[in-house]
Structure 1
Amino acid sequence: MSQTLLDVVHDYERQASRAVRWETREDARRTANYLRRMLGNREAVDPTRFELRLSTLIDLPVTWCERHGYRAVAGLEGYVIQRGDEPTIIAKVGNTLLWDGQRITLGEAT
């Protein structure tokens, strides 16, 4: 059975929650955070699409939108995205942000 990077992140998070020694717990948490950041950065590399997942770090979609000239703010239920006087986009986990070269639109998860 092959593990995905997200599975490895979860393994480190479990190790951190079970660790007795503070140093062991902190090492496992730091490793999990590093791998989660690496996973998110890998997902954010595609300039044409960004899928919002539960595992997505909050700042990655914001940065992705800013690269396309939009302002994005993380909220309780997802992200509010807007550029100029264009209609506001409300994106939540499960949605995919799509860039067509001109504007961001919202795609539903498949």
Structure 2
Amino acid sequence: MCNAFLAFALELAMLVFVAWWALALDDALWTRLLIAVAAVGALVVLWGAFASPKARVPLPAAGTVAVKALAFGAGAAALWGLGLSAAAIAFAVLAAANTAVTTYVRRPRPA
């Protein structure tokens, strides 16, 4: 239960970090908003289609982990791009540990 709550919090944080990075760019406001909406929207669609517990396209465990690594990597890269390297590393480590535990817990059990 705690791991599921942490997973959800990390997923939301990932989206916030990507939006924050996009809004901090040195472009016109409409461009920053467009990039933020597009980036967050792409992550939401990617996550919902391939990584969520009720994914529309179920993947083998390795595929799900790869999609999660890509999405969480985007969140960590966004923090890094904002100049928050320690936070980026901490987020990446926490997301990797949480993904490992989630993958272990959800693995199929032999009969």
**Structure of greater Rg:** 1
Higher helix fraction: Structure 1 or Structure 2? 2
Question: Is this a same-fold pair by TM over 0.5?
Answer: no
TM-score (norm 1): 0.36
RCO (CA 8 Å, sep 6+): is it higher in 1 or 2?
Answer: 2
